[in-house]
Structure 1
Amino acid sequence: MTENKITYSTFETEHRVRPDDIDLFQHVHSSRYIDYVLAARYEQMEQHYGMAMEKFLERGFGWVVSSVQMNYKRPLNLGDYFLVRTGINNITERVCRVAFTINNKVTGKLCCDGWFDYVMIDLKTGRGARIPEDVIEHYSV
Structure 2
Amino acid sequence: MELVKELIKKPESKSIIRFQDCDPYGHLNNARYLDYFVNAREDHLLKYYDLDLFKMSKEQGIGFVVRQNQISYFRPANLMEEVVIQSALIAFNESTVKIEMQMFNKNKSEFKAVLWADYVAMDLRSGKRTVFPDDMYNLLEMVKIEDANGSSDSFESRVYQIAKALKKG
Q: Give me the TM-score of the superposition, normalised by structure 1.
A: 0.88
Contact 2:99–2:116 at 8 Å: present in 1 too?
A: yes
Calculate the aligned-residue CA RMSD, in Å.
Answer: 1.5
Count of matched residue positions in the alignment of Structure 1 and Structure 2: 134
Contact 1:81–1:106 at 8 Å: present in 2 too?
A: no
Gap runs ≥5 in structure 1: 1-7
Which runs of at least 4 in structure 1 moved beyond 3 Å after TM superposition? Answer: none
SS of match in other structure, 2:100? strand
SS of match in other structure, 2:138? helix
Structure-2 change in CA distance of 1:107 and 1:50 (3 Å): closer
Contact 1:100–1:115 at 8 Å: present in 2 too?
A: yes
What's the counterpart of residue 116 of structure 1?
117
Gap runs ≥5 in structure 2: 1-7, 144-169
Higher relative helix content: 2
Structure-2 change in CA distance of 1:106 and 1:10 (3 Å): closer
Residue 48 (structure 2) pairs with residue 48 (structure 1): yes
**Identity %, equivalent residues:** 28
What's the counterpart of residue 3 of structure 2?
none
Contact 2:10–2:86 at 8 Å: present in 1 too?
A: yes
Residue 25 (structure 2) pairs with residue 25 (structure 1): yes
Alignment of 1:1-141 (within 5 A): 9-57=9-57, 58-106=59-107, 108-139=109-140, 140-141=142-143
How far off is 1:106 after superposition?
Answer: 4.5
Supply the distance in 1 between the matched residues of 2:105 and 2:22 (Cα, whole angstroms).
15
Higher relative strand content: 1
Structure number with greater CO (CA < 8 Å, separation at least 6) is 1
